[in-house]
Amino acid sequence: MKQVTGSILLLFAFTTLFAQANYSGLTLYNGNTSGAVQTPLRLGNWGTTMTPPPPSFNFNTSDNGTSYLDIHATRWGHNFLLSRDDPNGTINVFSVYGANNSNTGVSIFNTSNQVSISLNSQADSYFNGGGLAIGTTSTSGYKLAVNGTAIFTKAMVKPFPWSDYVFDKDYRLPTLDSVSRFIAANHRLPDMPSADSVAAAGIDVGQNQSLLLKKIEELTLYILQQQKEIEELRKQVRGIH
């Protein structure tokens, strides 16, 4: 028995010496020698009571504020929260959360402690942090900038005003003569963007659809007007004969 006990003590001493050498698997340094209270690593119970805590990992440093890495889980959910403390209070940075093994999400916070990016496995996801660039690093001031080809099965655009005002009784339909003069001078239809402006800035899809419909409606009015004139001419021809 004494021989076994002596062997265990010898093994413990050897292990302690080995750990004190430069072979440790986990090394944490406070990084501060000014006397600030720091807890570089805490595993297990965070508090001072003996109540069993949730499984957790906590990295905590304190130097005019607190920064901590907190991962914990319970039977009903899990949470990974990266946050920092400053004179204005705790600021959340990044969070991965889940509830009852069913709903998992990722949140990225702004400097006002509000969620700017939310990715959710079951609920709505959103981006509310400025512009979003795909295939490029600049949005050029747009909310969404895509450098490449995009495909949709359905797209909804809400332009306003819609062009049905052409059929209002007080709408003044341009004369065909004025349209002809405009085309000769500008090489495009009135109200429509020029080729140079489209090449430089592109087109507003919703606005362009409204303008195209406006031209179709005006063309319809011209046809109806001409048809009325044709009927009048037919009556005059019948009267002559």
Q: Do the domain assignments include residue 7?
A: no
Q: Do the domain assignments include residue 141?
A: yes
Are residue 97 and residue 169 in the same domain, yes or no? Answer: no
Residue 62 neighbours by CB under 8 Å, 6+ apart: 36, 37, 38, 39
Q: CA dist 119 to 104, 142, 165, Å?
A: 9, 22, 42
Are residue 140 and residue 37 in the same domain, yes or no? Answer: yes
CA distance 106 to 104: 7
Q: Do the domain assignments include residue 192?
A: yes
Q: 68 near 88, Cβ under 8 Å?
A: no
Both tokens of 133, joined, read: 């660039």
Are residue 121 and residue 173 in the same domain, yes or no? Answer: no
Residue 121 pLDDT: 87
> Which of the 8 DSSP states describes residue 101?
T
Per-residue model confidence as pLDDT tens digits over 40-87: 555 554 455 545 554 555 555 555 555 555 665 665 677 778 888 777
Are residue 37 and residue 134 in the same domain, yes or no? Answer: yes
Residue type, 238: R
Are residue 87 and residue 168 in the same domain, yes or no? Answer: no
CA distance 96 to 206: 38
Per-residue model confidence as pLDDT tens digits over 105-159: 999 998 888 999 999 888 889 998 889 999 999 998 999 999 999 999 998 988 8
Domain that holds residue 36: 32-146
CA distance 224 to 70: 74
Are residue 100 and residue 170 in the same domain, yes or no? Answer: no
Beta strand ranges found along 27-143 (DSSP E): 39-43, 56-62, 66-73, 77-86, 89-99, 103-109, 115-120, 126-127, 132-134
Are residue 142 and residue 167 in the same domain, yes or no? Answer: no
Q: Is 73 helix (H, G, I), strand (E, B) or coil?
A: strand
Are residue 71 and residue 140 in the same domain, yes or no? Answer: yes
Both tokens of 26, joined, read: 């986990």
Are residue 131 and residue 173 in the same domain, yes or no? Answer: no
Are residue 173 and residue 107 in the same domain, yes or no? Answer: no
Q: Do the domain assignments include residue 107?
A: yes
Q: Do the domain assignments include residue 23?
A: no
Q: Does residue 228 register a pLDDT over 90?
A: yes
Q: How far is CA 30 from the centre of its chain?
A: 37
Are residue 59 and residue 121 in the same domain, yes or no? Answer: yes
Are residue 127 and residue 169 in the same domain, yes or no? Answer: no
